Amino acid sequence: DIVMTQSPDSLAVSLGERATINCKSSQSVLYSSDNKNYLAWYQQKPGQPPKLLIYWASIRESGVPDRFSGSGSGTDFTLTISSLQAEDVAVYYCQQYYTTPCSFGQGTKLEIK
- The site for other proteins (CB under 8 A) is made up of 38, 40, 42, 48-52, 55-56, 61, 93, 95, 97, 100-107
Nearer of residues 24 and 51 to other proteins, judged by Cβ: 51
Minimum separation from the CB atom of position 91 to other proteins (A): 8
Minimum separation from the CB atom of position 20 to other proteins (A): 20
Nearer of residues 17 and 56 to other proteins, judged by Cβ: 56
Nearer of residues 13 and 54 to other proteins, judged by Cβ: 54
Residue 64 CA: distances (Å) to CA of 54, 88, 99: 8, 11, 26
Using only C-alpha atoms, what is the Rg of the chain? 13
Beta-strand relationship, 51-55 and 19-25: unpaired
Minimum separation from the CB atom of position 96 to other proteins (A): 9
Q: State how far Cα 81 lies from the chain centre.
A: 10
Q: What is the largest CA-CA distance in the chain?
A: 43
